Amino acid sequence: MQEVKGTILDVVNRRIVKGVVEVESGRIKQIREADEVPDQFVLPGFIDSHVHIESSMLVPSEFARLAVRHGTVATVSDPHEIANVCGMEGVEYMIENGEKVPFKFYFGAPSCVPATPFETAGAVLGVDEVTRLLDREEIPYLSEMMNWPGVLQRDEEVMAKIHAARERGKPVDGHAPGLTGDKAEQYASAGITTDHECFTLKEAVDKLKAGMKIAIREGSAARNYDELLPLLGDYPGKIMFCSDDKHPDDLIRGYFDQLAARTLAKGYDLFDLLKAFCILPIDHYGLDVGKLQPGDPADFIVVKEPETMEVIQTWIDGECVYDRGSVLIPRVEVNPINNFVSRTTRPSEFRVDAGRDTVPVIVAEDGQIVTGKSFETLSAAEGDLQPDPGRDILKITVVNRYQEALPATGFIKNFGIREGAIASSVAHDSHNIIAVGSSNRYLSEAVNLVMEHRGGVAAVDADRKEILPLPVAGLMSDQTGEEVAGGYERLDRTAKEMGSNLKAPFMVISFMALLVIPSLKISDKGMFDGETFEFI
């Protein structure tokens, strides 16, 4: 038997007591009070209520080694990204790799593969495949239903997937950015139980009133925390926290330890916020994660003090997996899977034919995955519309990575690159290669660098050709979290040296092909209006 002593934050019973946690056979045998304990606090571990592990560019086993440093013991993980690339094989890969480490990954059944019919993905998961996943005990929920128009229209296939989850008593995650009023109520009435896409307080309140729970998102690209945090005080017990997407450099620096401390500093009730960070995901998804109660799995953390949430130890199933700066989870050998159809592009493929007075331009928003749109007049050279770096208008392209096809190319504002290009095979949701650059030549060079490595994030200019290879499905690295974070930070610096003033240019570019988020995006088939759900 092992003992952990400290001031215990009993979130379930909303009490603080000095005591000893007795751990035996992976569970909490009992919690007994004691007069003399170390100057430290014991509380339930943090849970990310919605995250795509793939966006960390780390395989699950390596993600776990960083997450436990910050007191996270479990994630509700949507393997939607790798499913769009590798189908059922990709989902199995995530589950099997995650099972090799003492960390609690709860993967959902991806509901939208492909996310829309307006892009080329690497796989299709129909009703039969989704149902087979939901039949598995280790799959506790249906992942975010991104096809909100299909839900509102009660599309037959969409509703069949929702019905399969509800029939098995498993919750359905939502994804409905901007829906309010009657539409939010109609969306929830189909059986949708959560939403993490709210970007206004009114939208979130409408969804709460419709019966949904809200996950406040604070990730590497989309940050809705400041706007939505008042919900925690107004609707305690209906709020969770999630990251959605967490890049490796951010994950090195902090996770929910920082966010919980930040929330406490704003004056919110300690037990209300810990319920949101640690308890509600367990109740909502039926997770086998401990709440720091006798008989529970011994999943808990030890922190220096609640005000900083500085993590001293992390325990999972009675095993100390992080102790005073040392990660005690061993590395797992990574065997990549991939299905890249590599080829060499030519600069001429990125022409945009002249012949119209104005062209639609994506307007990127720093720190957001939503975009604006404008219409701009551009000059042409030999019949090819030209980017205008002086006005911060660059070319953006998406190149099919699953079959040989001509790229789709348009224009984008607010990336700031003066000369050169950046490219990535992380491009939600189908993960074709996306690139932004100041000329056709630089676009071609950046795309070809990614093609050559069968996946990665890259930056090129007159003097540099740099890449962080992502050999696992073109989404994740086979290296350590520290190595990936270092490589990513190097590329981030390069992009900013090229002129980008975005906080996270590679994260922003990865969402420019996410058609289900308004307003203007681009897929391998063309420029797309996310509000009307039509090509323009």
Domains with residue ranges and CATH for the chain? 46-287 (3.20.20.140), 347-535 (no CATH)
Backbone angles phi, psi at 463, to 5 degrees: -110, -15
* 372 contact partners, CB below 8 Å, separation of at least 6: 362, 363, 365, 519, 520
Q: With residue 257 as reference, give the H or E element that holds it.
A: helix 256-265
For residue 15, what pLDDT is reported?
97
Predicted TM-score (pTM) of this structure? 0.94
Q: With residue 496 as reference, give the H or E element that holds it.
A: helix 481-497
H-only helix segments in 78-224 = 80-86, 88-98, 127-134, 148-152, 156-167, 181-189, 201-209
For residue 341, what pLDDT is reported?
93
For residue 504, what pLDDT is reported?
87
Q: Sort strands 72-77 and 104-107 into parallel, antiparallel or unpaired.
A: parallel
Q: For residues 169 and 163, what is the distance between their CA atoms, to the nearest angstrom?
A: 10
Q: For residues 192 and 396, what is the distance between their CA atoms, to the nearest angstrom?
A: 35
- The single residue listed with the structure tokens 């019949």 is 383
CA distances from 531 to 93, 189, 523 (A): 34, 22, 15
DSSP per-residue string spanning 38-91:
-S-EEEEPEEEEEE-GGGGTB-HHHHHHHHGGGTEEEEEE-THHHHHHHTHHHH
Q: For residues 37 and 404, what is the distance between their CA atoms, to the nearest angstrom?
A: 65
Q: For residues 153 and 145, what is the distance between their CA atoms, to the nearest angstrom?
A: 13
Q: Sort strands 359-364 and 142-145 into parallel, antiparallel or unpaired.
A: unpaired
Report the length, in residues, of the chain.
Answer: 536
The number of angstroms, rounded, from the C-alpha of 105 to the middle of its chain's C-alpha atoms is 14
The beta-strand segments (E) located in 273-347 are: 300-303, 311-316, 319-323, 326-327
Q: For residues 487 and 482, what is the distance between their CA atoms, to the nearest angstrom?
A: 9
Residue in 394, 474, 472 with CA at minimum distance from that of residue 433:
474
Q: With residue 468 as reference, give the H or E element that holds it.
A: strand 465-469
For residue 401, what pLDDT is reported?
96
Ramachandran category for residue 169: left, alpha or beta (phi over 0 → left; psi -120 to 50 → alpha)? left
Ramachandran category for residue 412: left, alpha or beta (phi over 0 → left; psi -120 to 50 → alpha)? beta
Per-residue pLDDT of the chain (536 residues; tens, 9 = 90+): 999 999 999 999 999 999 999 999 999 999 999 999 999 999 999 999 999 999 999 999 999 999 999 999 999 999 999 999 999 999 999 999 999 999 999 999 999 999 888 999 999 999 999 999 999 999 999 999 999 989 999 999 999 999 999 999 999 999 999 999 999 999 999 999 999 999 899 999 999 999 999 999 998 767 899 999 999 999 999 999 999 989 899 999 999 999 999 999 999 999 999 999 999 999 999 999 999 999 999 999 999 999 999 999 999 999 999 999 999 999 999 999 998 999 999 999 999 999 887 999 999 998 778 899 999 999 999 999 999 999 999 999 999 999 999 999 999 999 999 999 999 999 998 999 999 999 999 999 999 999 999 999 999 999 999 999 999 999 999 999 999 999 999 999 999 999 999 988 998 999 999 998 889 999 999 999 988 889 99
Tokens of 304: 């220096």
For residue 369, what pLDDT is reported?
81
CA atoms in the 13 A half-sphere facing the CB of 48:
35
Instruction: Give me the residues paired with residue 33 across strands.
Output: 19
Q: For residues 368 and 139, what is the distance between their CA atoms, to the nearest angstrom?
A: 30
